Amino acid sequence: MGIVRDEFTLFYQPEYNLDTKNIIGVEALVRWISPKRGMIPPDVFIPLAEKTDIIYELERMIICKALEQKRIWEKEGLEHIELSINLSSKSIESEDDFRIIENIISSYKVDYSTIIFEITESVVITDFNMVMERLNRLKAHGIRLALDDFGTGYSSLVHLVKLPIDIIKIDRSFIKSIPYSNEETSITKNILAMAHDLNYRVVAEGIETNAQLEYLTQNSCEGGQGFLLCVPLPSEQVSQVIKEKM
């Protein structure tokens, strides 16, 4: 893969407070720009990288690039902007590789209370106690955790609520059918009610229409991302968008 040729770059998609419409943070999304094949989306190459050990190296590179960018934003007066980084379940499952990530975290001096790691339910299924221990090690740095693609996995809620998760991101497959009254819309409404009861912050993924935005705002969904609000952008462009809104 293009790691050695440095063909990977990070784009950043803003996350909005749906009440105030302010940008509260950005999510780092990796892009592979291959000179031969053009832009290859992460849902194509991340699963491939996860089948081999390449994922570990790729993930370290992504974390370093993201923290480097975070440091630049902190120097530019954007220290309040949260940065979310997606973390593959493989990096959590391997103690050696998890330790390397911890070392990277210790070596970058950024405000970790504004860093969020996103994990998916797939990580939970393997070894619950091990996952719990590793996640608590991340929390010891002040890092917050988000459960990504919520609603698409098969994990038991009884298990999920025991994890030290701060934020729940509702998968865009549920957001898609809003405002039509069907099962997905009803699930979204219930996820919101349950998450608020359990004191999670909720972020809706993939908001594409005004009707979806309105519905989510009315149902007290705190955060939102989606093409309607802003597409993922290179770092300089996203800084511009954030500064224009300040």
Residues that bind ligand C2E (CB under 6 A): 13, 28-30, 41-43, 46, 62, 86-88, 118, 148-149, 172, 205-208, 225-227, 232
Tell me which of Mg ion, ligand C2E, none is bound by residue 227, counting a contact when its beta carbon lies within the kind-specific cut-off of 5 to 8 angstroms.
ligand C2E
CB of 99 or CB of 227, closer to Mg ion: 227
CB of 26 or CB of 87, closer to ligand C2E: 87
CB of 4 to Mg ion, least distance (A): 26
Phi, psi of 130 (to 5 degrees): -65, -45
Tell me which of Mg ion, ligand C2E, none is bound by residue 29, counting a contact when its beta carbon lies within the kind-specific cut-off of 5 to 8 angstroms.
ligand C2E
Tell me which of ligand C2E, Mg ion, none is bound by residue 170, counting a contact when its beta carbon lies within the kind-specific cut-off of 5 to 8 angstroms.
none
CB 146 within 8 A of CB 170: no
Distances (CA, A) of 177 to 74, 180, 211: 38, 6, 10
CB of 59 to ligand C2E, least distance (A): 6
| Extended strands (E) in the chain | 8-17, 23-34, 38-40, 82-86, 115-120, 144-150, 167-170, 201-204, 223-224, 233-234
DSSP string, 52-114: STHHHHHHHHHHHHHHHHHHHHHHTT-TT-EEEEE--HHHHH-HHHHHHHHHHHHHS-S-GGG
CB of 152 to ligand C2E, least distance (A): 10
CB of 42 to ligand C2E, least distance (A): 4
Name the site residues for Mg ion (rule: CB under 5 A). Answer: 86, 118, 148-149, 205
CB of 67 to ligand C2E, least distance (A): 12
Tell me which of Mg ion, ligand C2E, none is bound by residue 225, counting a contact when its beta carbon lies within the kind-specific cut-off of 5 to 8 angstroms.
ligand C2E
Give the span between the Cα atoms of 70 and 115, in whole angstroms: 9
Tokens read off for 149: 């693609």
